[in-house]
Structure 1
Amino acid sequence: MRTALVVHASRHGSTRELAEAVGRALADAGLTVDVRDAADRRDLDSPDLVVVGGALYRGRWHARARRFLTRHRRELTERRVAVFGSGPRRDTPEAWGSSRAQLDRALARSSWLTPYAVTVFGGADPASGKQRRDVRDWEAVRAWAARLVTP
């Protein structure tokens, strides 16, 4: 049975919800999936696939996502890795482009990492906000995750 580890770094829970949706889609495709916070110190064990998701804040990828990459560098060089960022809370070309550029800059700092899939999903305002914007596209999340299973 193939296995996957999906880790997330989220401040308000939106990125965690995206990671859980990725995990469900991978499980629906037949993988055994573990979804956990990037701050979790457990070993990676030996998943066939590692998905790392982190929120994009003020021009940077979430610190726990960056630390996860650093902490597990050796193991990640030996596995298939996919990466996502959750970012724009406005559905405009400029917002999407800015979020993708932020994620690309963050990944460039880990030049040893060669993810085979990288994407940005829409983000959401904290649930406690008066006016909550949510541009997450759940069908796009499921479709991206399903593509991760194909060799």
Structure 2
Amino acid sequence: MTGQVLVAYGTKNGSTAQIAQAIAEVLTERGMTADARAAGEVADIAPYTAVILGGALYTGRWHPDARRFAARHRKALAERPVWLFSSGPLDASASEREIPPVAGVRRLMVRLDAREHVTFGGRLEKGAKGRVARMIVDSGRGGDFRDFARIRAWAAGVADALVTEEKAGEVRG
């Protein structure tokens, strides 16, 4: 693929940023130019031919930076292929079954005509920001539940879809 892919993310404790980076690495390995960037730092998406947007889940809602990014760039996102991902379950459930998007993300999928959404396990460990996060860790319910093999496989599927769409003339390069 000749275009650039933006992997934007909203994160509080860095776990979602690491997922975004892994996705960008897979796209790069597949010959694409991919940038993993914090959603709050992206002023313009014009250079990008496709966007993957991810957000950490907190109490059933996407990270505010991911939500604001989607609102701020709504028109431009509607003009390019978009994939969404969430991170957050603090157990193995995301690796064991498909977890549907939370209500707000489901609405975004429709508004943005997103190709797909996937939920990955999250990570919450000692030193986490936020009172509730610290309470979860202190209660012994924290840990790292990210499945990087699954994340990389999903990213490879996105790369394959982008190549197919470009060959079909559906993505500008």
Take 2:84 and 2:68, find their aligned partners in 1: how far apart are those partners?
14
Matched, 1:126 2:110: no
Q: Distance in 2 between the 1:50 and 1:119 partners?
A: 14
Contact 1:5-1:50 at 8 Å conserved across structures:
yes
Indicate whether 1:40 and 2:32 are aligned.
Answer: no
Q: For structure 2, which runs of at least 5 residues remain unmatched after alignment?
A: 128-136, 165-173
The structure with the largest alpha-carbon Rg is 2
Report the Cα offset of residue 92 of structure 1: 3.7
- Percent identity, aligned pairs only? 35
Secondary structure class of the residue paired with 1:39: helix
Once the two structures are TM-superposed, the CA of residue 41 in structure 1 deviates from its matched residue by: 3.9
The runs of at least 4 consecutive aligned structure 1 residues that moved more than 6 Å come to none
Q: Which residue pairs with 2:169 in the alignment? A: none
Give TM-score, length-normalised by structure 2.
0.77
- Whose helix fraction is larger, Structure 1's or Structure 2's? 2
RMSD, aligned CA: 2.0
Partners in 2 of 1:25 and 1:148 — Cα distance?
A: 10
TM-aligned CA distance change 1:7 to 1:61, over 3 Å: same
Counterpart amino acid of residue 3 in structure 2 = R
* Offset, 1:45: 2.1
> Structure 1, residues 98-117: CA drift from partner, whole Å, max 9, x if none?
xx34x341123333211112
Matches within 5 A, 1:1-150: 1-92=2-93, 100-101=99-100, 103-110=101-108, 111-128=110-127, 132-150=142-160
Name the CA distance, whole Å, in 2 between partners of 1:32 and 1:74.
23
CA distance, structure 2, for counterparts of residue 18 and residue 71 of structure 1: 23
Q: 1:108 to 1:120 in 2, by over 3 A?
A: closer
Which segment is superposed worse, 118-127 or 7-16? 118-127
- Please tell me whether the aligned partners of residues 93 and 121 of structure 2 are also in contact (alpha carbons under 8 angstroms): no
Question: Helix, strand or coil: the match of 1:12?
Answer: coil
Please say if residues 107 and 113 of structure 1, whose CA atoms lie closer than 8 Å, have aligned partners that are also in contact: no
